[in-house]
Amino acid sequence: MVGGRERALRWAGSLVIVLALSGCGGGGGGSAAISTSSGTADPAWTPGLYQAASKYQAECASPRTGDDPYTHQPYPDVQGTATDENNWLRSWTHDLYYWYAEVQDADPSLYATPDYFNLMKTTQTDASGAPKDRFHFSYPTSQWEAMEYGQSAGYGLAWSIVQATPPRQVEVAYTEPGTPASSAPANLVRGDEVLSVDGVDVVNATAAASIDTINAALFPSTVGEAHTFTVLDPGSSTQRTFTMQAGNITDTPVLMVKTLSTASGLVGYILYNDQVDVEAEQELVQAIDTLKADGVTDLVLDLRYNGGGLLELASELSYMISGPSLTAGQTFYQQQFNAQHPSTNPVTGSPITPVPFLGTAQGLSVASGQPLPTLNLPRVFVLTGGGTCSASEAIMNGLRGVGVQVYQFGSTTCGKPYGFYPQDNCGTTYFSIEFKGVNAAGFGDFGDGLSPANTTTSPGVTLPGCSVGDDFAAALGDPREAVLSAALGYRANPGVCPVPSGQGSPALLSKQARKLRIRTHRPLRDMLILRR
pLDDT tens, 463-481?
A: 999 999 999 999 999 999 9
Model confidence band, residue 518 (pLDDT cutoffs 50, 70, 90): low
The answer to whether residue 316 scores a pLDDT higher than 60 is yes
The answer to whether residue 222 scores a pLDDT higher than 70 is yes
Model confidence band, residue 498 (pLDDT cutoffs 50, 70, 90): very high
Q: What's the confidence (pLDDT) of residue 251? A: 81
Q: Are 272 and 317 in contact (CB under 8 A)?
A: yes
Model confidence band, residue 276 (pLDDT cutoffs 50, 70, 90): confident
Q: What's the confidence (pLDDT) of residue 500? A: 80
Residue spans per domain, the chain = 30-135, 154-248, 254-420+434-509
Q: What's the confidence (pLDDT) of residue 444? A: 96
CATH 2.40.50.90 fits 154-248, yes or no: no
The answer to whether residue 507 scores a pLDDT higher than 50 is no
The overall average pLDDT reported for the chain is 87
**What is the end-to-end Cα distance of the chain in Å, rounded?**
29
Q: What's the confidence (pLDDT) of residue 18? A: 35
Q: What is the mean pLDDT of residues 354-374?
A: 97
pLDDT tens per residue across span 27-76: 333 333 334 444 455 567 999 999 999 999 999 999 999 999 988 999 99
Q: What is the mean pLDDT of residues 236-265?
A: 94
pTM equals 0.83
Residue that wins the pLDDT comparison between 259 and 161: 259
Of 226, 223, 202, the closest CA to residue 214 belongs to: 202
Cα–Cα distance list, 447 to 31, 77, 418, 517 (Å) = 22, 37, 8, 21
Q: What's the confidence (pLDDT) of residue 520? A: 54
The answer to whether residue 252 scores a pLDDT higher than 80 is yes
Model confidence band, residue 22 (pLDDT cutoffs 50, 70, 90): very low
Helices within 299-390 (DSSP H only): 311-322, 324-327
318: three-class secondary structure by DSSP: helix
Percent of the chain with pLDDT over 90: 71
The 3-class secondary structure across 274-288, one letter per residue, is CECCCCHHHHHHHHH
Q: What is the mean pLDDT of residues 283-308?
A: 96
Residue that wins the pLDDT comparison between 309 and 248: 248
Q: What's the confidence (pLDDT) of residue 529? A: 57
Angle between helices 311-322 and 280-294 (to 10 degrees): 10
Residue that wins the pLDDT comparison between 146 and 140: 140
Q: What's the confidence (pLDDT) of residue 524? A: 46
Q: Beta-strand (E) ranges in 416-472?
A: 418-419, 423-425, 428-431, 435-438, 450-452, 461-463, 465-467
Give every CB contact of residue 5 below 8 A, 6+ residues apart in sequence. 250, 279
Q: What is the mean pLDDT of residues 388-417?
A: 95
C-alpha span between 410 and 467 (Å, rounded): 5
Q: What's the confidence (pLDDT) of residue 71? A: 86
Model confidence band, residue 135 (pLDDT cutoffs 50, 70, 90): confident
Q: Are 335 and 444 in contact (CB under 8 A)?
A: no
Q: What is the mean pLDDT of residues 492-503?
A: 84
Q: Name the least confident of 109-123, 138-152, 265-279, 399-413.
A: 138-152
Q: What is the mean pLDDT of residues 515-525?
A: 51
Residue that wins the pLDDT comparison between 406 and 532: 406
Q: What's the confidence (pLDDT) of residue 298? A: 98
Q: Beta-strand (E) ranges in 39-164?
A: 59-60, 78-79, 137-140, 153-154, 157-163
- CATH architecture assigned to 254-420+434-509: Alpha-Beta Complex (3.90)
Q: What is the mean pLDDT of residues 330-347?
A: 96
Of 64, 21, 145, the closest CA to residue 414 belongs to: 21
Amino acid letter, residue 120: M
Residue that wins the pLDDT comparison between 145 and 136: 136
Percent of the chain with pLDDT over 70: 85
Q: What's the confidence (pLDDT) of residue 42? A: 59
Q: What's the confidence (pLDDT) of residue 32? A: 38
Residue that wins the pLDDT comparison between 239 and 518: 239
CB atoms within 10 A of CB 489: 17
